[in-house]
């Protein structure tokens, strides 16, 4: 039971140790970057998926599933797209004992699998909008160092693909996706920024890309999702056209919205602390753990009452684990803190006698709750825990940014930097060199902290077109 | 709106037409045998998965997910297994622009992905039983004609893998799986037979295999699942060992339980009729469709009341579609019959005035239901529909078998045949030749129809060891 590495000074080591301790993945699979979802990790993932499904279906999107294998011929149709991906895809070249006539790509993302079929589904303006999503695994042949949830070779992936009648409707869909993610982020208790990526860093084939970024200490950021407006960029090569009400043939405008298991990584990275993982209630595999504390003179009362408490909360719809293993109470507390359970309820001799439980949430706040009735007390404690967790994350979020007034301030940045930028690519690259990272782009929303009016571009000194942009080091 | 081919005389044509009409899949993906799950098909699949998850988790199994890519070296460890699969796997040989050092197999099933990790998870008798399952897609390079749901190249798959302390516990797990499937089969309204496969047809690497078979007309059968006892056959090559309470190192005994999207195919094949698909309530994407019937003098009353009815049933937890499209009522009835919705509720002028609905279930049974209250009336109609659907399927099931008393009766069989068989492989193959199909094996349970005591083997005439066996033509 060694201490975890220090989160502030040794973030990556701390992250790897927390992932290990939280029992959510097993990295010992014989291929690097292909990890095993353990029962505990799968439970968290299922909860995460449920939030995504709930919020996207509330916007009228329907689940579909397209094949994982894409013929090389379809994959190559959009030129920017193939250029962006061909160095990192897995190729299936053999079926059984013979070579395939047309090699297949294991989907790195599904545009090229879906759009040939969209061309068949969309005929008339009455078929629009077409909003569908799938939750599947995608595959990328990563050559950089892999990290559980953050950079893996088989990626648990959510992707919405839509067809709209025109550019304006597509822009409206982008807005609707942003609102859906805002609701998801509340369930995850994750503050984030929606950032419009610069031209040179947008999704291959996109008209523009909005990234959903999370700061994770020092100047590091984690892109946990993205929303893209494709205009007609894919509709043209794939022939996705419809007949308008007036009889004209038009290309659809498309959008996509992607999220991935990086969200699990972000939840671990943002909420975790020196005691281990911390799951927000909506994602926690177990929302509540009940621990009986045996005592010499208590007989089986603690076990009995603990079992009653667990059963009542289960009936109330909570995910509950009753830890009746033969480990010592201290070891149990330690384990359920490491694995991030939001609320621990202890039942000892005194609690059993008084029909109460001792409650400790994962932020360490203690209270005594009556068993009769217990249900709404637990609801309240969990709601308070989520609020406090979100507030803690928001404080760290606000502290993760600072303004840089000159290029000289950028090297060695320990926060994500706000810089005045004229919009020019050359100036952008100078900023990237200075911070040894990326110009993340321009924020889509007002920032959650006060900012002066923007001044002159940090690089060229022009004021024309200057706007606040963010620079950091994406993981 | 052409008629469907005749189910009895042209089953395959009928099946393909029903799958098409039921809107559950799209076969126009550019690779043969890789089909698209449409929104309607995905909804059925989600309901199917929910039944499987509910029943398997009730037996203490937990969800996991292992990688889809298996290194060739791990894949080759169990000799029978690799022999059984190597002609039908997809090989990933390239990552990005370069060849992989060790080629990867896209999982055709997951023994060889999971067992190297089981060897790490199992240490002590306290780690047993280890019961986990995953719902993933598997891949088989099929060279035979592909058919939606029945023979495809990317297969939606359920697989449980367990480790038990000894052979007896593994046998007990097989029993538990059989009981779980019995409960699932009720939700699917599918009669089936559990059949122990002959030695030469068991799963590659298994000690024995129990197949779950469904007759689908003529002598055809559909294997929709299987349960295998592996004894130590995989534990030895993969080194899955534990320390027993007395300190001895022992190999675990393993079992697996597999089901696939063939269940969707079986539901379509068994329940469908000349009017199209018929979904049992538990699987139906929409349990109820509500159709307003406009009338010249009714104003918007039918639409208004239909919307109210749909909303009430949704709040009651039912999956409801309100068809307020501008198609004519007759076209709507036709479509929702083709797509197999269990219950249609019609609201015309008279119904709106009297606060009632005209109900027609997918078996054509009509009734008038009061709107106040409607909820339990609908529950009742759906329960009666499921009972009648199951009974119809059971009648067809009983009629799908007949006894054959000599080899001469087997050619051209129009039913699955019960034959007396001595258990000898040579005799088994003679039976297979005669029926131009397979000796399916011996039933695990009493058959649902009267049978004489078994006589002498149909082939060799021996009575010693003779038992009833089934012979048919697996699809």
CA distance to partner chain A, nearest, from residue B454 (Å)? 43
Q: Per the structure block, which two tokens stand in for A68?
A: 């994982």
Q: Let me know: does A225 contact A234? Beta carbons within 8 Å.
A: no
CA distances from B333 to A126, A133, B21, B327, B346 (A): 21, 29, 14, 10, 10
Is the CB of residue B411 less than 8 Å away from at least one CB of chain A? no
Cα gap A96→A98, rounded to integer Å? 6
B348: number of Cβ within 10 Å: 20
Average pLDDT of every residue of chain A: 96
Cα gap A457→A466, rounded to integer Å? 6
Choose, out of A25, A28, A29, A118, the residue to mutate when testing the contact with B (most B CBs < 10 Å).
Answer: A29
**Digit-coded pLDDT (tens) for A171-224:** 999 999 999 999 999 999 999 999 999 999 999 899 999 999 999 999 999 999
Q: Which residues of B touch A123 (CB under 8 A)?
A: none
Return the residue of B nearest to A95 by Cα: B90
The pLDDT value given to residue A1:
54
A358: number of Cβ within 10 Å: 17
CA distance to partner chain B, nearest, from residue A137 (Å)? 9
Is the CB of residue B65 less than 8 Å away from at least one CB of chain A? yes
Return the residue of B nearest to A154 by Cα: B67
Question: What is the sign of the dihedral through the CA atoms of B222, B228, B233 and B239?
Answer: positive
CB contact under 8 A, A87 and B96: yes
Choose, out of A31, A50, A124, A162, the residue to mutate when testing the contact with B (most B CBs < 10 Å).
Answer: A31
Is the CB of residue A39 less than 8 Å away from at least one CB of chain B? yes
User: Taking a contact as any Cβ pair under 8 Å apart, which residues of chain B between 103 and 132 contact chain A?
Assistant: 104, 106, 113, 116-117, 120-121, 132
CB contact under 8 A, A63 and B71: no
**Pick from B88, B120, B154: which is nearest to A68 by CB?**
B154
Q: Let me know: does B290 contact B314? Beta carbons within 8 Å.
A: no
Share in percent of chain B as helix, strand, coil (round to 5): 35, 30, 35
Cα gap A68→A404, rounded to integer Å? 45
Choose, out of A77, A90, A135, A144, the residue to mutate when testing the contact with B (most B CBs < 10 Å).
Answer: A90
Choose, out of A32, A69, A138, the residue to mutate when testing the contact with B (most B CBs < 10 Å).
Answer: A69
What's the ipTM? 0.96
Cite the beta strand spans of B197-248 per DSSP E. Answer: 208-215, 220-231, 241-243
- Collect the ranges in chain B with pLDDT lower than 70: 1-2
User: If you search the block for the tokens 């009353």, which residue do you land on?
Assistant: B301
Q: Which residues of B touch A130 (CB under 8 A)?
A: none
Cα gap A156→A224, rounded to integer Å? 12
The pLDDT value given to residue B1:
54
By three-state DSSP, how is residue A37 classified? strand
CB contact under 8 A, A74 and B30: yes
By three-state DSSP, how is residue A71 classified? strand
Least Cα distance to A277 among A225, A339, A228 occurs for A339
Least Cα distance to B191 among B218, B212, B217 occurs for B212
Confidence of residue A104 (pLDDT cuts 50, 70, 90): very high
User: If you search the block for the tokens 């501008």, which residue do you land on?
Assistant: B326
CB contact under 8 A, A30 and B74: yes
Angle between helix B301-315 and B375-398 (nearest 10): 80
The pLDDT value given to residue B442:
97
**Digit-coded pLDDT (tens) for A232-244:** 999 999 999 999 9
**Pick from A62, A86, A117: which is nearest to B39 by CB?**
A62
CA distance to partner chain B, nearest, from residue A150 (Å)? 16
**Pick from B63, B88, B104: which is nearest to A39 by CB?**
B63
**Strand partners for A370:** A356
Is the CB of residue A141 less than 8 Å away from at least one CB of chain B? yes
CB contact under 8 A, A30 and B73: yes
In this complex, how many residue pairs, one in chain A and one in chain B, have their CB atoms less than 8 Å apart?
146
Return the residue of A nearest to B34 by Cα: A67
CA distance to partner chain B, nearest, from residue A67 (Å)? 6
CA distances from A30 to A226, B66, B112, B116 (A): 31, 11, 11, 8
**Digit-coded pLDDT (tens) for A53-94:** 999 999 999 999 999 999 999 998 877 878 888 889 999 999
CB contact under 8 A, B31 and A143: no
Least Cα distance to B149 among B25, B53, B50 occurs for B25
Residue A171 burial class via C-beta count within 10 angstroms: exposed 0-12, middle 13-18, buried 19 and up: middle
The pLDDT value given to residue B191:
97
CB contact under 8 A, A154 and B71: no
Q: Let me know: does A186 contact A391? Beta carbons within 8 Å.
A: no
φ, ψ for residue B452, nearest 5 deg:
-70, 165
Residue A472 predicted with pLDDT over 70 = yes
CB contact under 8 A, A31 and B86: no
């Amino acid at each position: 039971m060694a201490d975890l590495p220090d989160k502030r000074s040794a973030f990556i080591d701390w992250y790897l140790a927390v992932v290990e301790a939280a029992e959510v993945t097993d990295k010992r699979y014989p291929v690097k970057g292909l990890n095993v979802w353990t029962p505990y990790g799968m439970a968290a993932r299922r909860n995460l998926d449920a939030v995504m499904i709930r919020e996207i279906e509330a916007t009228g999107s329907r689940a579909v599933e397209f094949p994982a294998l894409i013929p090389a011929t379809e994959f190559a149709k959009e030129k920017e797209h193939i250029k962006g991906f061909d160095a990192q895809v897995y190729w299936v070249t053999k079926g059984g004992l013979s070579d395939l006539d047309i090699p297949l790509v294991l989907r790195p993302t599904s545009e090229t699998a879906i759009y040939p079929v969209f061309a068949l589904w969309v005929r008339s303006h009455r078929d629009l909008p077409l909003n569908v999503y799938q939750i599947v695994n995608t595959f990328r042949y990563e050559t950089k160092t892999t990290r559980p949830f953050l950079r893996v070779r088989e990626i648990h992936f959510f992707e919405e693909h839509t067809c709209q009648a025109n550019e304006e409707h597509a822009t409206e869909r982008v807005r609707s996706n942003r609102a859906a993610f805002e609701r998801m982020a509340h369930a995850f208790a994750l503050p984030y920024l929606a950032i419009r990526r610069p031209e040179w860093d947008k999704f291959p084939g996109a008209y523009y890309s909005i990234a959903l970024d999370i700061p994770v200490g020092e100047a590091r950021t984690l892109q946990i999702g993205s929303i893209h407006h494709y205009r007609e960029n894919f509709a043209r090569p794939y022939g996705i056209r419809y007949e308008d009400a007036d009889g004209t043939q038009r290309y659809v405008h498309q959008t996509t919205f992607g999220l991935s298991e990086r969200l699990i990584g972000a939840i671990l990275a943002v909420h975790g602390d020196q005691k281990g993982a911390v799951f927000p209630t909506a994602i926690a595999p177990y929302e509540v753990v009940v621990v009986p504390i045996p005592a010499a003179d208590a007989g089986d009362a603690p076990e009995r009452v603990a079992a009653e408490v667990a059963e009542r909360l289960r009936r109330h719809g909570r995910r509950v684990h009753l830890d009746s293993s033969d480990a010592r109470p201290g070891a149990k507390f330690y384990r359920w803190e490491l694995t991030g359970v939001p609320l621990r309820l202890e039942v000892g001799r005194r609690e059993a006698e008084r029909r109460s439980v001792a409650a400790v949430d994962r932020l360490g706040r203690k209270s005594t709750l009556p068993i009769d009735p217990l249900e709404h007390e637990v609801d309240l404690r969990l709601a308070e825990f989520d609020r406090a967790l979100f507030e803690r994350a928001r404080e760290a979020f606000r502290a993760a940014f600072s303004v840089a007034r000159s290029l000289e301030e950028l090297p060695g940045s320990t926060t994500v930097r706000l810089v005045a930028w004229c919009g020019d690519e050359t100036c952008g690259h100078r900023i990237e060199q200075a911070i040894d990272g990326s110009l993340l782009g321009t924020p889509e929303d007002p920032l959650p902290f006060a900012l002066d009016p923007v001044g002159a571009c940090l690089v060229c000194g022009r004021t024309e077109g200057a706007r606040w942009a963010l620079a950091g080091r994406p993981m």
